[in-house]
Amino acid sequence: MQKKLGTLCLVTIMIIMGFAPAMSPVFSVMTTAASYPLDRGFEEAQGPVAEMKVPVVEDESVASNAPSSNFDGNENRGGVWVGFESGAGWGRAWVKFDLTFLPENIGIVSASFRAYLNDEWDPAADAAIGLYSSSNDTWEETSITWDNQPGFDAAALDTISPPYNSSIQNWYDWTCTDVVLAALSNDKMLTLVLKQEVEEGTDETWEYFVEKEYDQLNATYLAIEYTAPEAASLEVDGFSSSPHIDYIQNSEPTLSWSTEDSGIGETQMDYEVEVWDNEYFNDTLLYHDARGEVETIFDSGVGANTRPFGTALEFRYQMKHPSSLLARSGLVDKLYFEVEDDSGVAVFEDLQILMASTSKSGDLLATYAWNYNDSTPIQVLNREVYEAQIIDGWLVVDVENSFYSSMSKNLIIDMRFTNNTGDLSRAYIESPSVGSVAYNYGEGAYYSSTATFLYERTHNVRIEYATEPVLQHESTVSNSFPFNTEVGEPGIFQMKYNKSLVPETGIIDRLFIGVGSLTANSIFENLTIRLVETPHQGMLNHSDFTVNYGGNTPVTVLDEGLYAVPNIAGCAAIDIDDVFEYTGEGNLLVELRWDSLLEGGMRVYRDVDAGGYRAWNMTYSGLPTNNADTVGVDMHVQFVQDSTSIAYDGTALSNNTAYYWRVRVMDTTGVWSDWTTQNFTYAVLTSEPEWSNLSFDPDVGVAGSESTVSIDVTYLLGVEAVWFEIDGSNQSMTADGDTYSYSWTPSESGNFTYAIYMESSIGTWSTTSGIYEVEAAPLIPGLPIDSQTLLLIIVGVLVVVIIVLLVRRRK
C-alpha cells in the first residue's frame, strides 16, 4: 500500500508539473558585400574609342622626268600627285608628320593615313596605290627632288585598289598603325610615301591629291583612334539607384564617381562636374567645378550678326584676334562666343575647328591658307554632330586640349560646318574693329579655299585655359637658354620660382614654357629633368648647383636617352612623370641636365626681377658660360586633379525637385572622356520607420533560460539599425531581411521594462516599449516551474499523505 501511495504521489507531481518543450536559440547572420578592384587586362586597347587628327607638316611630290626639280609652290589641281603621266613620268608623294605632342603611352587602337583625291588625269586609267614608310625624316618639302629623295621600305604598309573615277573628291585611307607606334617610341617623326604600287606600263594613272598649301582643311592627315577614359559608378551621397537617389536628404550632397581606362598605367588627371536643372543640360547651370580659368579676350561688341551661328547654312569661317587682346597664354580647353540668346543648343554637322598662332599682323586675306603664314594650324575639334550649349548668353565649344595660345602671337580660329540644325543665335561683334574675319557660306563653302567676305570685325570671345601661369612674360624678349645653346655640348640649367608665384599645390603633370618660334624644335641626348621644393632664397648658386636644393632631395620627373621637346604653337610642352608633389611650403626649382644638344632652335620668353631666378653651366656660341641672374623663364604648369568626389556648393537646392548632374574625366595622356550623366531628387523626408509583429519567445521568460525578442521593421529608404534595451542594457538587434531579433538569458525573475529603438537610414526614429515578465528558475533544472511552486506542491503532497496516514490509524 505504501508503494502504491508513493507511486501515486510521483504521478501526481509529474501531472501537475508536466514537461517543458526544448528551446533552440535564435541565430541571425548579417552579410555585407565585399568590394574588389576591377581586374583589367592591358594586352589589348579596350573601352571607349575616340579619334584625333594629326595634320601633315610637310608634303610634296617628285617626278621621274624632272629628276632635279622641286615642286614646292606648285598647287596645280591639288598639289601632290601619284601615278604615271607621259610628260612628267612617275609621280610620288612624300608626307611628314610630327607626333611630338602625342604621349608615348597613349592607348592607340588603330592609325590610318588619309588623303583627299581632288582630281585625276585620265578617268579611264586607274592603278593600285600603296603607302610606304621611310626611316629618313631629313628631307624638306622645299628641296626634295626625284634624285635626292630618301629610300623607303620595299613592302607597302597598305594598298587601295581602283576604280577612283566614280569617287573623285573623296577621302581614301591606308592603315599604318605599326609605323605610328614605332615613331612614338623613337623620334616621334614619321615619313610616308604614296606611290603607284607597281610602277610599270604607260597608262596615264596620274591622281591629284590635296596638299596643305592648296587647302589646309583637306590636306592629308593621320587619323588616330585611341582609348578614352570613362567616368563610371556615379553616386549622390553614396547612392546610385532608386529609391535612395529619388530622396536625397542632404542639401549639399557629395557627388562621386570612378575613372575607368584600359590604357596601360592610366589614371585620372583632371575632372569637370556640372549640375543642371533639366535633363538636356541646356537651361540653368547650377554648379560647375573645373580647374580651368576663363579669360575674356574681347567683349566690347554690342552689335550682332547672323554669321556664323545664326544661319542654317554651310560655312567656312576664320576669325583673327590680334595679340594686343590676349592678356595671357595657356593651353586652350574651351571657346566661348557671346550670342544674343541666353540659353539653347546649337547643333553643328561636320564641325571642324582649327586654331593657330601667327606672327603675321594685319587683317585676314581671302586665301585661308595664307593667313596662317608661319604656323601650322592644329585641329582641336572634329565631330560629325556637335551640340554646343548656350549658357548665360555664351555659346560654349569644348575643344581638345591640344593647342597652346601664346599671348605674343595673333590668334586665328578657323571653323567649318555643313549645317546648324539647332538653335540659331546671332553673335555679338564690333565692326569696324581691331580684329578681322574671312568667310564663305552656302553651297560649297565647307570645302572652299578662298573667302568671299572680308571684314574688320571682332567677335566677343572668351577662352578657358587648362593651365595656370607660374611666371608669365610681360615683354617679347626671348633668350636661348636652355633650348638653343651649343649643339653637341652638355649643359646644366636651373630655374627657380618664388612660392608666391605658384598658383596651387598638388602633383605637377606638365610644364609649359613659352618660346618665340612656332615651329622650331630642340632635341636632347640623355636629358634629365628634376623638380625640388627648396627653402633656398634669392640668387641661385652657379658654382655648386646642389646648394640650391636647400638640403632637400630633387625628384627625377623625366629621364630620356633621346628627347625631342614638343613645340605646340609656340610652347615647349614637357610631359613629366606624375611623381612630384608641390606642397607650397618652399620655392619651386626646375633643373635640366643633358649630355648633348642635338638640335636647337627654341628661344624662351623671360622677364627680369619678376620672382624668378636662373643659373647655368653650358656652352653658347662656342664659349663656355657659367653664371646666375634674376631672370625668370616664362612657365605654366598643369596639376593632377585626381579627386573622385566633390561636395555640392552651388545654387541652393529646392525641396521635391529633380536635378541632373554630369562628370567627365581626363586620363594620363590628356584624353577627355565623354560626359556621364545621372539625375537625383532632393526630397526631404520626416517619416519614421514602421514596425509590426513584435513577439517574445517564450511569452513569459524564465530566469536562467534564453529569451528571444523579434520585430519586423521597414522604411522606404532602408533601416539603419534597431536596438533593444532592457534592464538598463542596450543591445543591437540582428537583421534577417525585415526581421530584427535579439536573444539573451535573464538572470533573475521579475517584470522588466523594455524599449525598442528603430532608426531609419535618414536618421528618423520610432520607439516601442512594454513590460516583459520573467519567472524564477525551477529548483530542478529542466522542470517547467519555479522552486517556490515546487516546494508548495511537495508540502501539499506531504500534507495529503499525513492526513491519509492519520485516518488509517484511527481505523
Q: What is the CATH number of the domain that holds 115?
A: 2.60.120.230
Rounded to a whole number, what is the distance in angstroms from the first to the last CA of the chain?
A: 15
Q: Do 447 and 309 reside in the same domain of the chain?
A: yes
| pLDDT for the residue numbered 321 | 98
Of 227, 254, 269, the residue that ends a domain is 227
- Tell me whether residue 622 is in a domain: yes
Judgement on whether residues 444 and 550 belong to the same structural domain of the protein: no
C-alpha to C-alpha distance for 797 and 359, rounded to whole angstroms? 122
Do 66 and 131 share a domain, yes or no? yes
Does a structural domain hold residue 708?
yes
22: Cβ contacts below 8 Å, ≥ 6 apart: none
Number of independent structural domains in the chain: 5
Q: Beta strand pairing status for 701-702 and 765-775? A: parallel
Which residues contact residue 83 at a Cβ distance below 8 angstroms, ignoring those fewer than 6 apart? 90, 91, 121, 127, 129, 196, 204, 205, 206, 207
359 belongs to a structural domain: yes
Q: Counting Cβ atoms within 10 Å, is residue 771 exposed (0-12), middle (13-18) or buried (19+)?
A: exposed
Q: Give the number of residues written for the chain.
A: 811
Task: Check residue 518 and give its pLDDT.
Answer: 83
Which residue's C-alpha cell is 617679347? 476
Q: Can you give the pLDDT at residue 42?
A: 25
CA of residue 587 relative to chain centroid, distance: 29
Q: Look at residue 323 and give its three-state secondary structure.
A: helix
For residues 268 and 642, the answer to whether their CB atoms sit within 8 Å is: yes
> Is the residue at 7 inside a domain?
no
Residues 118 and 96 in one domain: yes
All three cell numbers of 372: 596662317
User: Which residue among 227, 248, 276 closes a domain?
Assistant: 227
DSSP string of 223-289, one letter each residue: EEEEE--EEEEEEETTB-STTGGGSB--SSPEEEEEEE--STT--EEEEEEEEESSTTS-S-EEEEE
* In a shared domain, residues 446 and 311: yes
Q: Given this model, what pLDDT does residue 702 score?
A: 95
Distance CA 46, CA 225 (A): 11
Which residue positions in the chain have pLDDT lower than 70?
1-48, 103-105, 163-167, 262-265, 669-670, 779-791, 810-811
Cis peptide before 150 (omega within 30 of 0): no
For residue 26, tell me if it sits in a domain. no
Domain range for residue 566? Answer: 469-639
Contact 431, 456 (CB under 8 A): yes
Query: Are 384 and 479 in the same domain?
Result: no
Decide if 39 is inside a domain.
no
